[in-house]
Amino acid sequence: MGYQLPADSLFANTWNGAESVADVPESVKAQIREEALLTAFNRLETSLRLLLYATTPGKEPPTPEHLHQILNVWRFELEHRVNLVPDTYCGAVQHYEPAMENAYTIDGRCEPGDRLRIRVPCWRMFEKIVIRGEAELLDQNLIDSGQPVELQGWSNPSPTAENFLGITDES
């Protein structure tokens, strides 16, 4: 169906049917991706400084609690600044569902309802899986033995990197 626009239309000569979003030059697409990545890193600048400080030889966190605080800051920053959210935590135990195949690489054959230990959680951005996780089928003997297999979840971290480093708006 060919539509013709009047010559004096605002849309005349703006759409010839051959151009679309797919026709954006590769260099422009690459620039947009690069700018998005830079924006994300700029949001995480203070957290990156904290991580650099914590991994500098001789300046490592003095206690496991201090290290845990740094990890909580990182998780908080990833979740709240760039919307990168883990599906669960490492070591979590979940019941297998076939839909998990999209989010996890699973070691072993599973039936719906089997218990899986999450080795590495998948990460989502705006509900879309951006990093696949890893899971393994739990040994039924371990489950039957009565040994605890479920781990405590992460506490909901409230500190930000700015709070952790003592940075205030006044400085």
List the chain pLDDT tens, one digit each, 171 residues: 566 667 766 666 655 554 555 678 888 888 998 998 888 888 888 888 888 888 888 888 888 888 888 888 888 888 888 888 999 888 899 999 999 999 999 998 889 999 999 999 999 988 899 999 999 998 766 555 565 544 433 334 444 444 444 444 443
- Say if pTM beats, i.e. exceeds, 0.95: no
Residue in the structure block whose two tokens are 């690069």: 34
Q: How far is CA 158 from CA 48, 74, 87, in A?
A: 18, 11, 19
